[in-house]
Amino acid sequence: MIPNGNVATLSTPEAREPFRMNPAFWLAPLAASIPLIPFFSLPSSPLFLGRLGAGDAENPFLQPHWGPWLAAAAVIFDATIAAYVMTFFLYMLFRATREPVTTRRVLVLFSLTGVLTSQLVHWVQNFQQPGLSAFADSWLSPIFGCVCGLTAGACFALFANRRFSPTARALVYSLPFAVVVACGQFLLWSKK
């Protein structure tokens, strides 16, 4: 990033080209799910999906060996897809703006988008399980959304001005798709 006073700018002529910013936008939503994984997939966590969910013996998240892995796959799958939907609006905003996009502005916008995403997921999902509904109604939901947004914004700021080789660019574009497909396949496999 290029210094502009005490704030780094992401709007050099090269960085403003949408093709150059795409890898940063492509990686940021995948990074947004990282803060959620330890809280929702570790059995020792009070927010473990096995506890927040239905709680019956058939709950796949309560399986002794595969349960935490399934919970992590579910978190990555859901959070990444939600983050991609919301990041699209940020991408359009950044493309339309004519003023420099500072790192501070990126972090604030991604944080607000994370909070908005957490509330949108709460509204769309309308959780029936008491534990998930209580979590979605609590103050923790927007806090987690903000932290996920900050993580995605930091990832974006880190990669926005980077130049990627053609091989690295192919890896950057295929990695999130491969991760989401692998998590989805793992979740489908667990239902059998």
Predicted local distance difference test score (pLDDT) of residue 6: 38
The strand pairing partners of 3, in sequence order, are 8
How many alpha carbons lie under 13 Å from residue 133 in its C-beta half-sphere? 6
Tokens representing 90?
């940020």
pLDDT band at 21, cuts 50/70/90?
A: low
pLDDT tens per residue across span 48-101: 887 776 666 677 788 878 888 998 999 999 899 989 988 888 888 887 877 777
Does the predicted model carry a pTM greater than 0.85? no
